[in-house]
Structure 1
């Protein structure tokens, strides 16, 4: 398993990816003061997003076009799904906010041989999920 979003498992058979981009932010309020630099106060955790560029090249054994429809159905539900990688690292609960795809290498039947795309996720939990490091069977942290 490369990565799992809920029950959807990223693999060579479903959808492959070569990178995962994660963006996190923190919020600060600004207060202006006379004859000085603005003062800032920490107000909390901001947004966290994950972007996953993917590739489906079904005729060469990489991925399946149906995977895009499966992920689209998950997005249609509006639900959040646990995102976890193959080492057991738990990112949190994320909702799918966008799936962009580009179909190329079109056959004479109009079927795309290659699909490049990007899936965008937004974290929807509020740190209520345990995010400790994964522990192997011999008790070592990963």
Structure 2
């Protein structure tokens, strides 16, 4: 297992990602001052996002049913625990977006390759 989002496991047979990108932000409130730069005060952590990108090769690595499962999870609007394959808790996350780009089509329209991008946001 590479990672899990609740009961969904990211692995070779489901959605094997090739790239993991994490971004952290911090919030600072600003107050205008006459004749000087605005004063800033730290007010806490900001958004934390996690992006997974990879490619499906149905029959070899990944499956379209995994894309459908992620879409079903996103449709609930709920947050899910995200854990790394090393057991590190990455937090409660919501699914912000899922993109799929298909290519290498067979005569029946079945795509032999599909690139995906999944965007998660930590909400806890």
TM-score bucket (shorter structure): over 0.9
Partner of residue 94, structure 1: 93
Alpha-carbon distance in structure 2 between the residues aligned to 1:82 and 1:38: 38
1:56-80 Cα shifts (integer Å, max 9, x gaps): 1013x10111100000000001111
- The runs of 4+ residues in structure 1 deviating greater than 2 Å are none
SS of residue in 2 equivalent to 1:18: strand
Matches within 5 A, 1:52-67: 52-59=52-59, 61-67=60-66
SS of residue in 2 equivalent to 1:70: helix
1:63-104 Cα shifts (integer Å, max 9, x gaps): 111100000000001111111111111110001111000010
Query: Alignment length, in residue pairs?
Result: 124
Partner of residue 129, structure 1: none
Partner of residue 31, structure 1: 31
Alpha-carbon distance in structure 2 between the residues aligned to 1:76 and 1:54: 22
- Quote the offset at 1:38 in angstroms: 1.6
Matches within 5 A, 1:7-46: 7-46=7-46
- Quote the offset at 1:30 in angstroms: 0.8
Partner of residue 121, structure 1: 120
When normalised by structure 1's length, the TM-score is 0.84
Gap regions ≥5 residues in structure 1? 126-142
Instruction: Tell me which of the two structures has the higher relative contact order, counting C-alpha pairs closer than 8 angstroms and 6 or more residues apart.
Output: 2
Gap regions ≥5 residues in structure 2? none
When normalised by structure 2's length, the TM-score is 0.96
SS of residue in 2 equivalent to 1:20: strand
Indicate the RMSD between aligned Cα atoms, in angstroms: 0.9
Partner of residue 85, structure 1: 84
